Amino acid sequence: MNITKNVEDYLKAIYYLVQELEFERVGTNQLAEYLGISPASVSVMIKKMKDKHLVDYQKYGKIGLTDSGHAIAVKLVRKHRLWETFLHRHMNFSWDEVHEVAHQLEHIHSPKLIRELDNFLGNPKTDPHGDVIPDEDGNYIIPTKTSLAELQAGNQCRLVSVKDNSAVFLKYVTQLGLALSSKIRVEEIREFDGSMLISYDGKKENVSKMFAESVYVESL
Amino acid sequence: MNITKNVEDYLKAIYYLVQELEFERVGTNQLAEYLGISPASVSVMIKKMKDKHLVDYQKYGKIGLTDSGHAIAVKLVRKHRLWETFLHRHMNFSWDEVHEVAHQLEHIHSPKLIRELDNFLGNPKTDPHGDVIPDEDGNYIIPTKTSLAELQAGNQCRLVSVKDNSAVFLKYVTQLGLALSSKIRVEEIREFDGSMLISYDGKKENVSKMFAESVYVESL
DNA sequence: TAATAAAGTTAGCCATACCTAACAAATATC
DNA sequence: GATATTTGTTAGGTATGGCTAACTTTATTA
């Protein structure tokens, strides 16, 4: 059973939509939207992937991963995050630049390379966005994620990861002067729109509710 | 004009057959043989590549690279050899293991990554097989290659590169206890089959003419 | 509940890139 | 120079993975 680059992309997309965004299962349209292709193409592909026992599916239903599909997806996530770490630490890629190239690199097939890369990087536990890197056996703990938006005025926290890995969002975070492990204090929360005034590194900035929801923190 | 991974493979293959093996131009059958695909497929592909101005070609003639085709091929060679160097130096890949994975990695598109990789490696001039790595502008000097077979009994030399990068051949070289920059002395040459007795590192070994022709040396 | 909207599927088409079989051209040999 | 042999091309088929248009099913809402 030959898994193509495309099938790998589908598996990772399903994994992402199912696990990270916390839907239980994904619809063909959502998946199509996420992958930037037509729902019709997804319909056809999912049928083939079902034949290969990579996804759970029945017509007009929702898509889920089988155990084998899940295992492959986790391996891809591991590769992706190891490459991101490599690019960030050794190739001078900023955290908003790593994703695109890592997306290409994750399709390289070489168990030895991944083992060696992991070793070279010193078995990192998280990637440049604070996301957990699954171990060689595909095991990992998804940490309970608290968003900045859940805090109260007066609370202090440390930035541990981001919900949105898009270059646009990450550049904005960088522009604000924030990075992983930045220490943040919630100064005020505006009831009417959920925006907050936060302080960090001697700065004070106003951020939207959406921003606060896109940033995960650890309470201090 | 979108260059696919397959077209890249064709370009590199043509480049290799034309430059490295010193034919002026390649026939479709030779190319098909080298790529492990049918001549018919090559015929069709070359027609498309001609339309994209990547190759010089006319029906029933021989294939050559255009300037733009050549430029792309050289960039691929550069990427391939930089990745080989990386795999060998930092990922503990032996010189017989690097080719396959580098062949995958050379298709990664990211000018920044290649610049950074080159920098990370300290702008290496040669890869783990002793082959020259073209610079960022695609410039490189093909050194005059002297094979071990050209030497006379009593001559001394140093191994600088190999003609054959196949795992089978490289493993044999390693097994003999030879590596790049090994110092070799030609002890005897047998007229009838061109085989030679060579000595190096206190060892004495008999090698075939074909072997001697597959190893490039620098006279001492 | 019936009409409408949203979501999903099927059919038929395109591009890439491979294949085999049959044919055509070029080269080599008698 | 005629006939093999080698070399190369064309035609028609397969698989992957996209697309649009038309249709069906499910969900929503009046």
Which stretches of chain B sit within 8 Å of chain A by CB? 87, 90-93, 97, 100-101, 104-105, 108-110, 112-113, 116-117, 120
User: In A62-193, which residue ranges form alpha helices assigned H by DSSP?
Assistant: 67-90, 98-105, 111-120, 167-176
Q: What is the pLDDT averaged over residues A97-110?
A: 98
Token pair recorded at residue A215: 């940033």
| Statement: residue B79 has pLDDT above 90 | yes
Token pair recorded at residue A13: 């997309």
Nearest Cα residue to B111 out of A8, A140, A91: A91
Greatest CA separation found in chain B? 57
Do the chains contact at B112 and A90, CB–CB below 8 Å? no
Tell me the average pLDDT of chain A. 95
Q: What angle do CA A7, A13, A15 make, to 5 degrees?
A: 105
Q: Worst-scoring range by mean pLDDT, A19-33, A43-57, A181-195?
A: A19-33
Neighboring chain B residues of A91 at a CB cutoff of 8 Å: 112-113, 116-117, 120
Q: What are the pLDDT digits (tens) for B81-136?
A: 999 999 999 999 999 999 999 999 999 999 999 999 999 999 999 999 999 999 99
Tell which strand D nucleotides have any atom below 7 Å from a protein Cβ: 7-12, 16-22, 25-26
Task: Give the pLDDT confidence score for residue A23 in this predicted structure.
Answer: 64
| Statement: residue B48 has pLDDT above 90 | yes
Neighboring chain B residues of A90 at a CB cutoff of 8 Å: 116, 120
Q: What are the pLDDT digits (tens) for A118-168?
A: 999 999 999 999 999 999 999 999 889 999 999 999 999 999 999 999 999
Do the chains contact at A112 and B105, CB–CB below 8 Å? no
Q: Are A8 and A76 in contact (CB under 8 A)?
A: yes
Do the chains contact at B101 and A110, CB–CB below 8 Å? yes
Tell me the average pLDDT of chain B. 95
Task: Give the pLDDT confidence score for residue A156 in this predicted structure.
Answer: 97
What's the rounded Cα separation, in Å, for the pair A114 and A173? 30
Confidence of residue A25 (pLDDT cuts 50, 70, 90): confident
Task: Give the pLDDT confidence score for residue B25 in this predicted structure.
Answer: 86
3-class SS of residue A32:
helix
Q: Are B101 and A108 in contact (CB under 8 A)?
A: yes
| Statement: residue A22 has pLDDT above 70 | no
Give the helix/strand (H/E) hosting B90: helix B67-90
Token pair recorded at residue B52: 């994209």
Tell which strand C nucleotides have any atom below 7 Å from a protein Cβ: 7-12, 16-22, 25-26
Do the chains contact at A91 and B97, CB–CB below 8 Å? no
Task: Give the pLDDT confidence score for residue A2 in this predicted structure.
Answer: 86
Q: What are the pLDDT digits (tens) for B150-189?
A: 999 999 999 999 999 999 999 999 999 999 999 999 999 9
- Higher per-residue pLDDT: A185 or A1: A185
Confidence of residue A19 (pLDDT cuts 50, 70, 90): confident
Q: List Cβ<8 Å contacts ≥24 apart for B184-191.
A: B184/B148, B184/B156, B184/B157, B184/B158, B184/B159, B184/B217, B185/B154, B185/B155, B185/B156, B185/B157, B186/B148, B186/B151, B186/B152, B186/B153, B186/B154, B186/B155, B186/B156, B186/B157, B187/B153, B188/B153, B189/B152, B189/B153
Task: Give the pLDDT confidence score for residue B123 in this predicted structure.
Answer: 98
Neighboring chain A residues of B92 at a CB cutoff of 8 Å: 116
